[in-house]
């Protein structure tokens, strides 16, 4: 039913998000196993982070997340340690994604760059076909991605936090962040609300 709904509403093309990738068979677990380990530094309620996670979840690609403290951003030390000239050196926004398992891992900041890298990795691993990966570069797809980033995403956060009660509820996720101290949790909950 899901494929039929998306098939009817998707225009031609749009493989990574639309009809062709949905209609194709589920990715082979052996191909998913070829993907590098993926770790994403995020804010739980960030629409840009959720955009990347939606693609990962849709394709069944495992990943881990590290919640970034919105007040201290101490988790961004990973970008401070990058060599001069690295595109993510000093990058202090979410999402930041680490492709690899540490030492030789590659760090990518900014959701459009992360999605481009993710498409390349999925294509190389056989999770998506090369024609589907090529559609990511289609100008119409990129136009929609830019629209989502510049018009839609900027409206989501203000609509989650219209009142103090809604803000308090939206920032309640910090209470479950395992890498936050109790004082970090409380200060983020109060400052965010």
Residue 10 lies in a domain: no
What are the 10-residue block averages of pLDDT along the chain, 193 residues in total? 38 47 65 94 93 94 94 88 87 93 81 95 93 90 91 82 80 85 85 72
What was the pLDDT predicted at 7?
Answer: 38
The answer to whether residue 11 is domain-embedded is: no
What was the pLDDT predicted at 23?
39
CATH value at residue 47: 3.40.30.10
User: In this structure, what token pair is assigned to residue 182?
Assistant: 């109790």
- Is 12 inside any structural domain? no
Residue 103's pLDDT is 63
**192 in a structural domain:** no
CA 171 to CA 162: how far, in whole Å? 13
The pTM is what?
0.78
Domain housing 136: 27-183
Question: Could you tell me which residues come within 8 angstroms of residue 134 by beta carbon, excluding any fewer than 6 positions away?
Answer: none
For residue 6, being part of any structural domain is answered with no
106: buried, middle or exposed (CB in 10 Å: 19+, 13-18, 0-12)?
middle
Q: Is residue 39 part of a domain?
A: yes
Domain count along the chain: 1
Structure confidence at residue 24 (pLDDT): 52
* Domain assignment of residue 105, yes or no: yes
Q: What is the gyration radius of the CA atoms in the chain, in angstroms? A: 18
């Amino acid at each position: 039913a899901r494929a039929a709904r998306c098939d009817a509403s998707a225009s031609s093309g749009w493989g990574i998000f639309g009809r062709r990738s949905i209609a194709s068979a589920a990715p082979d677990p052996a191909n998913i196993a070829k993907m590098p380990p993926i770790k994403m530094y995020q804010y739980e309620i960030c629409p840009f982070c959720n955009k990347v996670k939606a693609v990962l979840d849709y394709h069944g690609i495992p990943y881990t997340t590290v919640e970034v403290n919105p007040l201290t951003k101490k988790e961004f030390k990973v970008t401070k340690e990058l060599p001069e000239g690295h595109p993510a050196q000093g990058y202090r926004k979410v999402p930041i994604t680490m492709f690899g398992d540490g030492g030789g891992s590659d760090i990518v900041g900014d959701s459009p760059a992360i999605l481009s890298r993710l498409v390349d990795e999925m294509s190389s691993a056989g999770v998506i076909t090369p024609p589907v990966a090529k559609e990511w570069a289609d100008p119409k797809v990129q136009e929609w991605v830019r629209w989502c980033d510049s018009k839609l995403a900027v409206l989501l956060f203000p609509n989650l936090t219209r009142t103090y009660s809604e803000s308090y509820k939206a920032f309640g996720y910090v209470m479950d962040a395992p890498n936050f101290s109790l004082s970090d949790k409380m200060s983020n909950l109060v400052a965010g609300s």
